[in-house]
């Protein structure tokens, strides 16, 4: 074997090693990059369904449409302790098991009306749930609502954001005797 053939085979093998991981991956890719959390596409779909059941779309976009579920993942990844991150992931992975006990099928397999009812049952029975499932539901609800109420849609169309709220400051206002004491 000559040197050129060896170099050619090494080049082909190197290229295959670079291309192969992109061919054999999760068919359902996650739409955001996270540093600490390792989630699958199905888990992203679960939280998106949770968000759409919590704040459904009507004539205005819901939580899923403004990507409040992605905001939740980012906040859990960046702003919570490693213990809370583990609790969140463990609870998210056990959430479907708890829903199957209530409804007989997974959360993403239910329709919108059933999801709302299931979420209500989960929040009503949070003491009976395992601690990590209750923590997942609690953290998800908090961050989904926060993500929705800080979204561009909410702050421009629903509740107009004012940089300086309240009336304009009046520095030269006359004082009467009741305000002086």
* Chain-centroid distance, C-alpha 153: 17
Residue pLDDT tens, the chain, 181 long: 677 776 777 776 776 666 665 555 545 677 788 888 888 888 999 999 999 999 999 998 999 999 999 999 999 999 999 999 999 999 999 998 888 888 888 888 888 888 888 888 888 888 888 899 999 999 999 999 999 999 998 988 888 777 776 776 667 777 777 666 5
In eight-state DSSP terms, residue 107 is: G
Rounded distance between C-alpha atoms, residue 99 and residue 11, angstroms: 51
Q: Do the Cβ atoms of 154 and 66 come closer than 8 Å?
A: yes
Number of residues assigned to the chain = 181
Token readout for 67 is 């990507």
pTM exceeding the 0.75 threshold for the entire prediction: no
Other CB atoms within a 10 A radius of the CB of residue 83 amount to 8
- Rg of the chain over Cα atoms, rounded to whole angstroms, equals 25
């Amino acid at each position: 074997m000559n040197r050129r053939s060896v170099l050619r085979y090494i080049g082909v093998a190197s290229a295959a090693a670079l291309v192969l991981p992109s061919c054999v991956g999760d068919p359902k890719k996650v739409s955001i990059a996270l540093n600490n959390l390792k989630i699958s596409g199905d888990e992203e779909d679960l939280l998106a369904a949770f968000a759409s059941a919590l704040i459904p779309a009507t004539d205005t976009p819901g939580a899923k449409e403004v990507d409040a579920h992605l905001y939740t993942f980012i906040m859990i990844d960046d702003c919570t302790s490693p213990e809370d991150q583990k609790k969140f992931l463990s609870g998210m992975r056990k959430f479907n098991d708890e829903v199957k006990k209530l409804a007989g099928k997974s959360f993403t397999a239910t329709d919108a009306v059933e999801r709302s009812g299931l979420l209500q049952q989960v929040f009503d029975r949070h003491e009976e749930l395992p601690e990590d499932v209750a923590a997942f539901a609690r953290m998800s609800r908090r961050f989904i609502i926060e993500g929705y109420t800080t979204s561009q849609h909410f702050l421009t169309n629903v509740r107009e954001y004012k940089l300086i709220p309240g009336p304009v400051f009046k520095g030269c206002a006359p004082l009467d005797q009741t305000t002086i004491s």
